[in-house]
Amino acid sequence: MTEAAAESGNAHPVRYQGRVRLTRYADLASARAVRLVSAARRRGSRLPPMVWDSLLPTLLLVNILTTRLLQELPVAVALTAALALPLVWRRRAPLMVFGAVAAAAFVQWLMDVQLLADIALLIALYTVAANSGRRGTLVAGAIVEAGVLLACLRWAAEGAFPTTFVAATAMVVAAAVLGVNVRTKGVYLAALEERAARLERERDQQARLAVAEERTRITREMHDIVTHNLSVMVALTDAAVYAQHRSPDKATTAMLQISETGRQALTDMRRSLGILRTDEPDAERHPLPGIAQLAALADQMCAAGLPTRLEVQGGHTHIPATAQLTVYRLVQEALTNTLKHTPPGTHAEVRVRCSAETVTVDVTDSGPCPPLPGATPAGHGIPGMRERAAAYGGKLQAGPLPGGGWGVRTRLDLSSSGEVSA
């Protein structure tokens, strides 16, 4: 009995160990199956959509072949193929595919054959809702709902018509709502992509406009600096040549002024171009010229042979630095034109009136004939002055005066510039 008990006692551990091994084998097999399915899903995500749309017709045909009797196979296979095969092209022509599936379902109903392939109607309805408008979705939903009613009247079990009809209607509504949600999401994503593309285009356009505006600004600065200083240097050189024999001291003074003007021109050019270089601290050490430097400009013009009288009314400490630079450049350009295009003996007057919101600039000369309208053959003088004045809402008036001479007048509106006072 002990041996029997021993034998019986040894038998249970053997069976238990066998079950443990089988459980381990099942777990390993399940894990491998999960990994294979995940890998197949990752690989399948790169497959064309038509391949995925071909899976359902294949599964339905396999189901018919394995569940129907031999004498039922021809009709069942033909109807299943008519219901399921059009789904392969559902993404390309959703309405045509839905019409084909609905026609096959009606033929099926006439032949009184129940098939699992009727699920193709729900898929076709979902595709129409996801790719067509509201009208197409309503028409397709009404057709499917009519088919549900006919199917329930013929095939619903006795006393189960309400339950069957409600359940089938719920599936129809669910398919339509899901398709509409997918279409709405697609439209929303497309709108977001279009908006992002439009914002990128606008950003690129703004960048190009900013580059063009900066180039125009630099061009104006270089024109004003070069033409003014070169004009002054030419006038001083002529004076030095004329005075070198009669008055060597005046010739020496003129040459020193030429040197000083050249250095000032180089400083102004470095200041204007230094903003384009990150390793140029010189632009930070030299402030931009403004109304306070008009006196030095008038003295420079006097030394070059153009007696200039300056009159500044009102305080200018509240005026922004960029507005003061505009005033300085306007006066500089006007005086340079006078120096270049008027005969000796001409006098110039500069009047600057500053108020809380405006700055008025008047530059006149007593030349017997008006200067040319442009400072250079390309005509950058007056147009550049107009652009500078327009930046502050001003309109430049330049032309001959009634009593002779030439006048330049503009009024800058500080409130329209949007700048912060210095």
Q: What is residue 4's predicted lDDT score, i.e. its pLDDT?
A: 38
* Alpha carbons 191 and 119: distance in angstroms, whole number: 33
Q: What is residue 353's predicted lDDT score, i.e. its pLDDT?
A: 93
User: Is residue 172 situated within a structural domain?
Assistant: yes
Q: What is residue 13's predicted lDDT score, i.e. its pLDDT?
A: 40
197 and 66 housed in the same domain: yes
Q: Backbone phi, then psi, for 17, in 5-degree steps?
A: -65, -35
End-of-domain residue from the set 143, 175, 203: 203
91 and 136 housed in the same domain: yes
CB contact set of 390 (below 8 Å; sequence gap of 6+) = 396
54 and 9 housed in the same domain: no
Q: Are 297 and 338 in contact (CB under 8 A)?
A: no
35 and 63 housed in the same domain: no
Strand ranges in 116-271 using DSSP code E only, listed in sequence order: none
Please tell me which of 50-59, 155-164, 217-226, 377-386 the model is most confident about, judged by mean pLDDT: 155-164
pLDDT higher than threshold 50 for residue 333: yes
Q: Are 350 and 338 in contact (CB under 8 A)?
A: no
Q: What is residue 308's predicted lDDT score, i.e. its pLDDT?
A: 92
20 and 125 housed in the same domain: no
302 and 377 housed in the same domain: yes
Compare 116 and 281 and report the one with higher pLDDT. 116
* Alpha carbons 99 and 86: distance in angstroms, whole number: 10
Q: Are 328 and 382 in contact (CB under 8 A)?
A: no
141 and 153 housed in the same domain: yes
Q: Is 9 exposed, middle or buried (CB count within 10 Å of its CB: 0-12, 13-18, 19+)? A: exposed
Q: For the chain, what percent of residues have pLDDT higher than 90?
A: 12
Q: How many CA atoms lie within 13 A of 221 on its CB side?
A: 21
User: Is residue 19 situated within a structural domain?
Assistant: yes
First to last CA, the chain: 113
> Range of 75's domain?
49-203
40 and 130 housed in the same domain: no
Q: What is residue 29's predicted lDDT score, i.e. its pLDDT?
A: 44
34 and 137 housed in the same domain: no
pLDDT higher than threshold 60 for residue 372: no
pLDDT band at 177 (very low <50, low <70, confident <90, very high): very high
User: Is residue 257 situated within a structural domain?
Assistant: no
pLDDT higher than threshold 60 for residue 8: no
118 and 29 housed in the same domain: no
32 and 56 housed in the same domain: no
User: Is residue 182 situated within a structural domain?
Assistant: yes
* Alpha carbons 262 and 258: distance in angstroms, whole number: 6
End-of-domain residue from the set 151, 176, 203: 203
Q: Which amino acid is at 174?
A: A
Given CA atoms 124, 129, 134, 138 in this order, what sign does their dihedral have?
A: positive
* Alpha carbons 390 and 135: distance in angstroms, whole number: 56
User: Is residue 264 situated within a structural domain?
Assistant: no
* Alpha carbons 68 and 151: distance in angstroms, whole number: 20
* Alpha carbons 371 and 265: distance in angstroms, whole number: 24
User: Is residue 67 situated within a structural domain?
Assistant: yes
* Alpha carbons 346 and 92: distance in angstroms, whole number: 84
H or E, element range at 407: strand 406-413
Q: Which amino acid is at 115?
A: L
Q: In what order do the strands lie in the sheet with 358-365?
A: 308-313, 348-354, 358-365, 406-413, 397-400
Query: For 45, which DSSP code?
Result: T
User: Is residue 54 situated within a structural domain?
Assistant: yes
Q: Are 313 and 353 in contact (CB under 8 A)?
A: yes
- Paired with 308 in beta bridges are 348
118 and 54 housed in the same domain: yes
* Alpha carbons 125 and 171: distance in angstroms, whole number: 11
Q: What is the pLDDT of residues 209-230, one digit of tens each?
A: 877 776 777 777 777 777 777 7
Q: What is the pTM of this model?
A: 0.46
Indicate the average pLDDT of the chain: 76
The domain tally of the chain equals: 3
Q: What is residue 260's predicted lDDT score, i.e. its pLDDT?
A: 76
DSSP string, 204-216: HHHHHHHHHHHHH
User: Is residue 192 situated within a structural domain?
Assistant: yes
| CA distance to 133, 181, 184, 200, 349, per residue, from 187 (Å) | 11, 10, 5, 20, 67
> Could you tell me the CATH number of the domain that includes residue 337?
3.30.565.10
End-of-domain residue from the set 172, 203, 234: 203
Three-state DSSP state, 319: coil
- Paired with 174 in beta bridges are none
